[in-house]
Amino acid sequence: MLTVKYIQELSLREQHMTMRKLRFRQFTLQILLALILLLSAIYLYVDSSSNVTANDIAKVAAVNKSNSSKINKSNVPTIGSFKFGMFSDEPFVGKDEKKIDAKLNIVGWFVHWNESMQSNKLKNACSFGYVPEITWETWVRAKGVDGNSNILNEIVDGKYDKKINDDIDSISKSCTDKTVLIRLNHEMETAPNEPNRYYPWQGNPEMYIKAWKHIVNISRKKNKNIKYIWSPNRGNMYTSLYYPGEKNVDFVGLTLNHHGEIEHEFTTFQSFYEPNKTVIESFNKPIIISETAFTDTGNPADKAAWIDSMFSYVQSNKKITAVVWFNSVKAMRYDTSPESIQAFKDNLKQINTGGK
């Protein structure tokens, strides 16, 4: 009886072991299948969203190579010593200057093609000795790609020549013999044919360049004091595809807005700028950080430290000639805390007095 019972128990154990092995194998296969499906979905998403061909990649490489050899440094303009400015929605910036105890050099704002360039802000900026930095956006209908998808072709075809001429005349009238910076159709650097575009001037490098040249050619004939900032959002593999050429660009700009999505990401300005450095500085143009800010994280010391790192880095990098702080979003403003304001005060005092 013992022998029979032992054999029965042994058989039962073997059955349990077999079932466990089968369940483990089944579980393993399910995990592998899930991973395969996930990787396939990622591949299909990336492939369908970018529509990038081998020819696109080769074109990028060729453009980058030509940029490094064709730049004529004698054409590089200057706006003098390092400049600091801020975006402002107000016609006057006196209250902001009072807070930071320093005079701004540059005042920035946005103008889209549904509105006139002429404004009290433009007149005041030039009258009181500021350099305007105007982000000129070629929206002609409600903001969004759908209603503006053909805007670049329409610009090249001359449909908006009167609009361009009128706006340049407005600048000339309000800012006679004054330098004005135009940041035209910024943050353009998406993959060619990218379907998920935010701006209507993204996704078609060839037409972007043609439209840029058309606008700049009209502008240069009317007012040589208007300087153009070509200002991507990142220095990535597609950025150079949109470069309009040395003679059509005065400054290279860059947007560096720290949105704080990932904790401890880009804890210094340097760590944010340098991944873009190779591409952005390859054009041998003076650099303007044409829009930058740090989103308030709830810890004022984080923002103050980032501001300190920004001023420290831009003073050590002589290619950076100006920085313009973005104030159009409340959490990004310069004055979100006393610590943030003090950081601006201390750094601007050091710059303006030479550390004395």
Distance CA 259, CA 242 (A): 25
Find out whether 110 and 135 touch, Cβ atoms under 8 Å.
yes
Q: Is the pLDDT of residue 148 over 70?
A: yes
Q: Average of pLDDT values for 296-325?
A: 93
% helix / strand / coil in the chain, to the nearest 5?
A: 50, 15, 35
> Which residue from 60, 137, 56, 122 is spatially nearest to 91, judged by alpha carbons?
122
Q: Which DSSP string corresponds to 114-153?
A: TS-S--HHHHHHHHTTPEEEEEEE---SSSSSGGGTTHHH
Could you give the domains of the chain? 73-353 (3.20.20.80)
pTM of the model: 0.80
For residues 79 and 131, give the distance between their C-alpha atoms in angstroms, rounded to a whole number: 9
Q: What is the pLDDT of residues 211-260, one digit of tens each?
A: 999 999 999 999 999 999 999 999 988 999 999 999 999 999 999 998 76
Asked whether the predicted pLDDT for residue 266 surpasses 90, the reply is no
pLDDT (average), residues 298-304? 91
Check residue 242 and give its pLDDT.
96
Average pLDDT taken over every residue of the chain: 82
Residue 49 has pLDDT above 80, yes or no: no
Going by pLDDT thresholds of 50, 70 and 90, the confidence category of residue 47 is very low
User: pLDDT of 73-129, one tens digit each?
Assistant: 445 566 667 899 999 988 778 999 999 999 999 999 999 998 999 889 999 999 999
* pLDDT tens-digit series, residues 153-212: 999 999 999 999 999 999 999 999 999 999 999 999 998 877 778 899 999 999 999 999
| Banded model confidence at residue 14, pLDDT cuts 50, 70, 90 | low
Pairing of strands 83-87, 106-112: parallel
Q: How far apart are CA 220 and CA 225, in angstroms?
A: 8
